[in-house]
Structure 1
Amino acid sequence: MVRGSGAYDGEYRVMVAPQLIDDAYLAANPTRVCVDDQGGIVGFASLLVPGRGVAGEAELDFMFVADDRQGHGIGRALMDDVVAISREMGVERLHIVSHPPSEGFYRSVGAVRVGEIPPTGRITWPRPLLRLDIAVNGTGR
């Protein structure tokens, strides 16, 4: 799903080409998977905890929804799960390094842009850095 995503066509392909999600990755990182009625994977999201090495923080590592399923609420449902997992783990702040075309989605679920990640290596464009504050007391997002 990651390598086949239409969102990463053209110049963006270099971001996902080296990515490997295997059993070791899944064992080490909280991950949620959304499946359809036939059991096929239509989306997933995963966290790095602690994000950026700071207690109380996490980073959204992956967030993908199948191209033909985008716009049907799967991304929002996955973000709701990510927030719930984060809250359960005592995470108060979620960092998101966004694929530039996805920034609007993250803003729509309450994230705010706090900076920009400069180009590095094969990634030759800046990427939005967003933050989603998570209320651990159950109120707010």
Structure 2
Amino acid sequence: MTSRITATGRAAARSAAAGTVRRATARDAKRLTRLIQASSAYEGPYAPMIAGYRVGPDYIETHRVFLAAAPDGRLLGFYALLLAPPELDLMFVADAAQGLGVGRRLVEHMKGEARDAGVDAVRVVSHPPAEGFYRGVGAERVGTVAANPPAVMWDRPELVIRVGPAETAPAEAGPA
């Protein structure tokens, strides 16, 4: 089931990219799984990677999983952040919502979550076609993760997204 977003829906998606991100709940598991299964990024030689893959309620309850939704509730994308060690485990944007800033919004949100958790960098083992996106949001390539047949049949770029230190409030000037 691939959701289609019309011109009106694209405007709603753009507004969602500007701020509607929330913590996923166990009740979102099926929607997240459907988004993964519908991803055209995993067609052809990449299809085996997601065949049978599911995001279960237990995964959502165990990890920091956040989703972006349109004002009408439509799922636009999601990510999962692991903290030990820090890694962006999953990130998907609905095909029809790509190019609207949803992915960038999710990465910025993820960086804030990582920063709040005291993390200064997050590892990303990227789907090869997504490397350009990650580099475009500031990730640096640090290596290559070798194929691991039969689960993964191709080498994958390894990147790092620097998060930076948590911002502190400026000290108030007191009497001299």
TM-score, normalised on structure 2? 0.73
Structure 1 counterpart of 2:147: 119
Residue in structure 2 matching 1:83, options 93, 111, 115:
111
SS of 1:3 mapped into structure 2: helix
Deviations 1:29-71 (A, max 9, x none): 10110011210111001111112xxxxxx10011100001000
Paired residue for 1:92? 120
Unaligned stretches of 5+ residues in structure 1: 52-57
Matches of 1:76 and 1:120 in 2, distance apart?
A: 29
Q: What is the distance in 2 between the residues matched to 1:104 and 1:83?
A: 18
- SS in structure 1 at match of 2:46: helix
Counterpart of 1:3?
37
Deviating 4+ runs (over 3 angstroms): none
Of 41, 66, 74, 1:40 maps to: 74
Aligned-partner residue type, residue 69 of structure 2: V
C-alpha deviation, 1:18, in angstroms? 3.6
- Pick from 71, 77, 98 the counterpart of residue 70 of structure 1: 98
1:25 aligns to what? 59
**Residues in 1 aligned to 2:122 and 2:91: alpha-carbon distance in whole angstroms:** 13
Which protein is bigger by CA-based radius of gyration?
2
Question: Is 1:107 aligned with 2:135?
Answer: yes
Q: How many aligned positions are there? A: 133
What's the C-alpha RMSD, in Å, of the aligned pairs?
1.2
Letter of the aligned partner of 1:30 in structure 2? R
The code of the aligned residue for 1:83 comes to K
TM-score, normalised to structure 1's length? 0.90
Partners in 2 of 1:32 and 1:81 — Cα distance? 9
Structure with higher helix content: 2
In 2, Cα distance between the equivalents of 1:83 and 1:121?
31
What amino acid maps onto 1:115 in structure 2? G
Aligned to 1:135: 164
